[in-house]
Structure 1
Amino acid sequence: MTTPNQTALQAAAANSKAWPFQEAQRLAKRFPDGKRDDQGNLVPVLFETGYGPSGLPHIGTFQEVLRTTFVRRAYEVLTGGHPTRLVAFSDDMDGLRKVPDNIPNAGLLAENLGKPLSRIPDPFGTHESFAHHNNAMLRDFLDRFGFDYEFVSASDRYNSGAFDDALRNVLRHYDAIMGVMLPTLRAERQATYSPVLPVSPTTGAVLQVPIEVIDAEAGTIRFADEDGSTIEQSILGGKAKLQWKVDWAMRWVALGVDYEMCGKDLTDSVTQSGKIARILGGHKPEGMIYELFLDANGEKISKSKGNGLTIEEWLTYGSEESLGFYLFREPKSAKQLHVGIIPKAVDEYWQFREKLPSQPVEQQLGNAVWHLLGANGGHSEGELAGAGDSLPVTYGLLLNLVGVLGADASREQVWSYLGNYIHDPDPADHPDLDVLVDRALAYNRDFVAPTLIKRAPAANEARALEALDAALAGFDAETSAEDLQTAVYEIGKREEFGFESLRDWFKALYETLLGSSQGPRMGSFIALYGVGNTRRLIVEALQRAGVAQS
C-alpha cells in the first residue's frame, strides 16, 4: 500500500464525515488562515480538557483527553500541520462538597469539607493533598498512553497570581455577570449567589456567600465570614476562586482556549459561560457536547459513587487499544461502560485494525484505528501497513477456552492448548495475544468462572450430542476448524433432533458444554480445545442427563 500524499489527505479530510474531522472543519472555519497573533504570526490553536479531582479518575475522565486529541490531530491533518497545544486543566481549587464513597480514611476528608481540594490532606497518604493524589493518577495514565499535553492546575494559577488580572476583570464586569446568572437561578439561590467565592481566612473553606465589590482594580471585596464577622479581603493570590460557570469562562479567556468538548450534563453551563466569556472580552470555544456514559444498570457514572470503570480495571481485563477504540465510537450516543463490554471492544478493535491498510483513504479517516495511530503522531506508511496484522485467536474464543479450563487455569495451560491452533505457539512471537492471555485469565477468574453453570441436556439435545460425539470420533487433531464447523452444522440441521433453528442447537452446545448462553464458532473452539477434549465435555454433559456412554 502507499500513503496518500498531503494534498490528497487534506482533500479527504475536508470532506470526511468522521466526527473528529467534522469538529476540525468547524474549528478551521473559525481560523481560515490559521490562528494569528497581533503581529500576524501563526500561533498554536489551544485545545483544553477539564478535570474535577473530587474523586478518583475514571474512564469518563480519560476519554475527554483522548477524544480531544482525535480532534486535535484531525485539525493538524486538515490544515496541513498548523500548530496546536493541548492543556489538561484540573479544577483543584474547587471546595470539597461531599466525601466520595470509594475513598479510604473518609473521616479525614469529612473534617475538611468545604476546603479547596488542593488544601485537603491526601487520604491515601502518598501526596501533598487529595487533589495532588488524583491529579497524579490522571497524569500517570496520560503519560503511559503517550499523550502530548500540558498539565495546568487551578490551584497553581490562582495561588501564583497568574489569574489575578483575569479576576480583576471579573470584578470590573461584576454587574453584567450577575445579569447573566441571576435569571437562571431559583429565588432562594439568587439571594446567596456570587460569581466570586472567597476563601474564609478563619476556616480555609470556600464560601458561597454574597459579596460586595470594594475596589475592582485592587481585587478587594467585602463578605460575611462563617462566624458572621465582616471581612474585607483581596480575591487575588489564591484567596478566592470563581463560581463554576464564571470560572470556566474566565479560564477560556485567560488561557485563550479555542476548543473544549464536554458532557451533555454541562449543556447549560456552555451557554451561560459563553455569554460571560463575551462579557470578559473573549469568546466561547468551539466544542462538541457528547453523551454521558452509563453503568451496567443504565445509571449515570459518578466519581463520588465510584460506579464507573477505572482505567486500571479496563486494563486488567482488556488492552489499551481496545479502550481507545471503544471511546472513539459514536460519542454523541449514550453507551454503557462496564466490564461486560470489554471482550467485544477487544475483538472489534482487531477487526478494524486488520481492515485499515486495504481501505481507501476516505474510509481510513473513518476507521478508529487510524485515529488511534494518529493520537501519538503515527501515520507513516509502515505504521499503517503494520496495522493490517490480526490475532490468530479472537479474545472471545480465548475466553471460552479459559472458561472450560476453569478458574485455576494457568498461562502455560492456555498456551499449550493454543498449540492446537497456532503452528508455532511461542508467546514471544505473539506478544499481543500473550497480553490477552493474561487478560482472559483475569476476566474469567473474576467474572466468568463464578457464573458458569453447565446444565444437563434435554432428551433431543442429548441425542444430538451423541451424534456429534460420533462425528468427532472420525476426526483427528489436524482437522480444520471449517470442517469441524460443517460437521456441527449438519447435525443441527437434522430434523430428527427437533431444533427449530440452528441458533437453538448452538445455544444448547454453549449451555451444556461451556456453561454460558453465548459462545464462539464451535468449529474454532473444537480446533482450539482439541477434538479429544471436546468429546470428554460431551461425555460429561451426557452423564448429567443420565445418559450412559458405551
Structure 2
Amino acid sequence: MTTASQPKLDLSPAVIEAARTSKAWPFEEARKLLKRVTAAKIDRPVLFETGYGPSGLPHIGTFGEVARTTMVRTAFRVLSNDEIPTRLLCFSDDMDGMRKIPDNVPDRAFLEPHLHKPLTDVPNPFGGGASSFGAHNNAMLRRFLDTFGFDYEFASATDYYRSGRFDEILLKATEKYQDIMDVMLPTLGAERQATYSPFLPISPTSGRVLYVPMKAVDAKAGTITFDDENGEETTLPVTGGRVKLQWKPDFGARWAALDVDFEMFGKDHLTNASIYDRICEILGGTAPEHFVYELFLDEIGQKISKSKGNGLTIDEWLTYASPESLALYMFTKPKTAKKLYFDVIPKAVDEYFAFAGKLPAMPVEQQLANPVWHIHSGRPPQVDMPVSFTMLLNLVSASNAETKDVLWAFISRHVPGVTAATHPKLDELVGYAIRYFEDFVKPTKVFHAPDEVELAALTALDEKLAQLPADADGSAIQDAVLDVARAIERYQDHNKKSPDGGPGVSVVWFSALYKLLLGQERGPRFGSFVALYGIEETRALIARAIAGELAGAAAEN
C-alpha cells in the first residue's frame, strides 16, 4: 500500500550540482547507490527496504529507519534528476515465532499458550479490530507512518510466504541447502551446529515455528523432512507458508527475492552483514548497499527493546512534540549512539525551529546540509517561531498555566500581532509545553530556600527591575540582571571580564535564579524570560521566594 505520493523536488541545476558534493550523510549514501545502479544498468525501480519485527509495540527506532531511508531516497532522486523510479518497502517479519512474551502486554497469561506460534497466529491481547498480535503491531506502525505522510508500501512476511511470493526463493534454497549450511555452520557453536537448519517448519499439529534438525531436504520435490513435536516423522513442502527461513538466511533470501538495492540496519546486525550478503548471492541475488546506524539507548544506557518496552514509544514523543522534531533527532549523527528518553525532547524541538529559521537565507550548498531540508524532502515550510519551546516551559512553570489562554496572554503582550491564528505552529507548541511541563517538569521541581547571600541578591534584583520601564526588552533586562551579580562576590567569574573591566558573571548566578524562582536547574536566557513573563510578574515571583513561599509550598507538596 502506498500511503502518499512522493513530494515534488527542486531539481534546479544549482541544487543538483550542490548535491554531487554535499557532505550530508544522505547524499553520501545516495551517491554510492547511484554508482551501483548505473554500473548494473538496472531497468526497474530502485528498491529501498526497511525491516520491522513486530514482536512488541513499535518503538521510535523503527520509525527512524523509515525516516532515514526516506532521506536517502530523496537524495538519490535529486542526484538522478528524478529520472530513475524508486520504491520504499516497509517489510514486517510477522511470521516469526513469538519466542517470549513482551513485558508491556496487558495480559501475559492470555498469550502463554501461543508461545512460538507465528506472530500473525497469536491472538490480539490489546482489543480493537486487529486479527492478531502481529496485525495489531503492524497497524500501529502503519498508523504513524501514514500520519507522517511517508510514501511507502507495506509488506507482511506472512502474506509473502503464504501467498507463494517467496516460493521460488524457497525452492532455490533447497537446491542450495548445503551452500547455505556451509556459510552458517562456521558461525555457530558445536552444539548448535548439530541441530541447525536454515528451514523452520510450521508444525502441522501445534502451529508453532519449530527449531528442529532436518532429516532430509529434497530439492527435486521441494520438501523437507523432520520430526514434529509429537515425534512423528513429517514431510512438508517448503512452499505455501508451511516453512519459513531462519532469520539470517531470511535476510539474504528476501534481498534476493525482491531485488533490494538499499537497506539500513542497526549496529547489532553488523557482524552478520557479510552472512546476509553471501546468502543473497548464493540464491542468485546481488547484495544491496548497506548503511549501519548506531543503536538508541534508554535513559540508563541500555539498548531499546520492543519486548522490554523501554525508551520512548512513537505515541509518547508525539504527545509532547511534533513529528518534525522526532525526524530531526533521527537525522543528527546516525552513526553515534544516542539516548532516547523524555529529556531530549525540548532540545530537539528548539533545534528543529532554529534550523528551519536559518534555512531560507542559506546558500544552496548549506541548505542541503541543513536537517530541515532532508526532513521535508527538499521542500521545507516557512517557519516563524518567536518563542522557543524551552521558554514556553519556563513560562508555564512561572505562571502555573494549565490552559493555552494563560500562555497566549503573555505571548501576545510580548510579541504584538502574534496570535494562535497567525502562528498555528506556535499554538501547537503551547499545547505540547503544557503537557510536557505537567508530566515531566512539575513532578521534579525542587525550589531552593534562599540563604543570606541569595536573599540580598534577590532584593537587589527586585530593586533593579523596579527601575526598568514596563516595556523593557530582553537585552535591557539581561543587562540589569548582570549588573546585580557583578556586585556580589559569589557570582563573580574572574576568568571573564565585564564591559568596565571588572570580573564577569558566573553561571552560578543564573543557576541560582532558576533554582530559587522556578525550582529547576537550568533555563533559557533570563532577561528574555522576564520580558515574556513580565517585569511585575517576575517581581511578584521574587517576593514569594524572599518570603520563603516557593520553597515552603514545594516542601508541603
Cα distance change on mapping 1:158 and 1:496 into 2, 3 Å: closer
Shift of 1:212: 3.4
Find the aligned partners of 1:300 and 1:258 in 2 and give their Cα distance: 28
Find the aligned partners of 1:250 and 1:426 in 2 and give their Cα distance: 56
Shift of 1:32: 2.2
Map 1:470-549 → 2, pairs under 5 A: 470-495=463-488, 499-500=492-493, 501-544=505-548
State the partner residue of 1:134.
137
Q: Give, as a single letter, the amino acid of the residue that structure 1 aligns with 2:93.
A: D
* 1:267 alignment partner, one of 267, 270, 275: 270
* 2:18 alignment partner, one of 12, 16, 22: 12
Shift of 1:514: 0.9
Secondary structure of the residue that 2:44 maps to in structure 1? coil
State the partner residue of 2:172.
169
Contact 1:24–1:72, Cα closer than 8 Å, also in 2: yes
Q: Give, as a single letter, the amino acid of the residue that structure 1 aligns with 2:438.
A: R
Q: Give, as a single letter, the amino acid of the residue that structure 1 aligns with 2:59.
A: H
Find the aligned partners of 2:228 and 2:384 in 1 and give their Cα distance: 64
Find the aligned partners of 1:505 and 1:165 in 2 and give their Cα distance: 71
State the partner residue of 1:226.
229
Shift of 1:19: 0.3
1:476-527 Cα offsets, whole Å, 9 max, x none, are 3311111111111111122456544420111110110111110111111111
Find the aligned partners of 1:184 and 1:401 in 2 and give their Cα distance: 57
Q: Give, as a single letter, the amino acid of the residue that structure 2 aligns with 1:109.
A: L
Shift of 1:106: 1.4
Find the aligned partners of 2:362 and 2:450 in 1 and give their Cα distance: 46
Secondary structure of the residue that 2:244 maps to in structure 1? strand
Find the aligned partners of 1:26 and 1:371 in 2 and give their Cα distance: 18
Find the aligned partners of 2:80 and 2:491 in 1 and give their Cα distance: 63
Cα distance change on mapping 1:498 and 1:201 into 2, 3 Å: closer
Secondary structure of the residue that 1:520 maps to in structure 2? coil
Shift of 1:422: 1.7
Find the aligned partners of 1:477 and 1:80 in 2 and give their Cα distance: 56
State the partner residue of 2:60.
59
In structure 2, list runs of 5 or more residues that go unmatched. Answer: 1-8, 494-504, 551-557
CA RMSD in angstroms comes to: 1.7
Find the aligned partners of 2:403 and 2:21 in 1 and give their Cα distance: 50
Contact 2:327–2:375, Cα closer than 8 Å, also in 1: yes
Find the aligned partners of 2:491 and 2:423 in 1 and give their Cα distance: 43
Cα distance change on mapping 1:309 and 1:224 into 2, 3 Å: same
1:371-409 Cα offsets, whole Å, 9 max, x none, are 0111xxx53xxxx5x43x331110000000111223x62
Of residues 483-492 and 499-508 in structure 1, the stretch that sits farther from structure 2 once superposed is: 499-508
Secondary structure of the residue that 2:88 maps to in structure 1? strand
Secondary structure of the residue that 1:469 maps to in structure 2? helix
Q: Kindly indicate whether residue 403 of structure 2 is the aligned counterpart of residue 401 of structure 1.
A: no
State the partner residue of 2:27.
21
State the partner residue of 2:259.
256
Map 1:283-298 → 2, pairs under 5 A: 283-298=286-301
Shift of 1:470: 0.4
State the partner residue of 1:71.
72
Contact 1:462–1:545, Cα closer than 8 Å, also in 2: no
Shift of 1:124: 1.0
Find the aligned partners of 1:424 and 1:8 in 2 and give their Cα distance: 37
Shift of 1:226: 1.0
Find the aligned partners of 1:484 and 1:32 in 2 and give their Cα distance: 60
Find the aligned partners of 1:424 and 1:57 in 2 and give their Cα distance: 42
Contact 2:11–2:78, Cα closer than 8 Å, also in 1: no
TM-score by length of 2: 0.92
Contact 1:457–1:545, Cα closer than 8 Å, also in 2: no
Find the aligned partners of 1:246 and 1:485 in 2 and give their Cα distance: 63
In structure 1, list runs of 5 or more residues that go unmatched. Answer: 37-41
Q: Give, as a single letter, the amino acid of the residue that structure 1 aligns with 2:340.
A: L
Cα distance change on mapping 1:534 and 1:160 into 2, 3 Å: same
Of residues 92-101 and 493-502 in structure 1, the stretch that sits farther from structure 2 once superposed is: 493-502
Q: Kindly indicate whether residue 272 of structure 2 is the aligned counterpart of residue 278 of structure 1.
A: no
State the partner residue of 2:186.
183
Aligned length: 530
Secondary structure of the residue that 1:252 maps to in structure 2? helix
Contact 2:297–2:339, Cα closer than 8 Å, also in 1: yes
Q: Give, as a single letter, the amino acid of the residue that structure 2 aligns with 1:435.
A: E
Contact 1:489–1:502, Cα closer than 8 Å, also in 2: no
Shift of 1:419: 2.4
State the partner residue of 2:427.
434
Secondary structure of the residue that 1:288 maps to in structure 2? strand
* 2:328 alignment partner, one of 317, 321, 325: 325
Contact 2:384–2:423, Cα closer than 8 Å, also in 1: no
Runs of 4+ in 1 over 3 A off after TM superposition: 495-501
Q: Give, as a single letter, the amino acid of the residue that structure 2 aligns with 1:446.
A: D
Contact 1:161–1:237, Cα closer than 8 Å, also in 2: yes
Cα distance change on mapping 1:545 and 1:6 into 2, 3 Å: closer
Shift of 1:352: 0.5
Identity %: 53
1:200-254 Cα offsets, whole Å, 9 max, x none, are 1110000000113443243211001112111111121111110001111110011
Secondary structure of the residue that 1:111 maps to in structure 2? helix
TM-score by length of 1: 0.94
Q: Kindly indicate whether residue 115 of structure 2 is the aligned counterpart of residue 117 of structure 1.
A: no
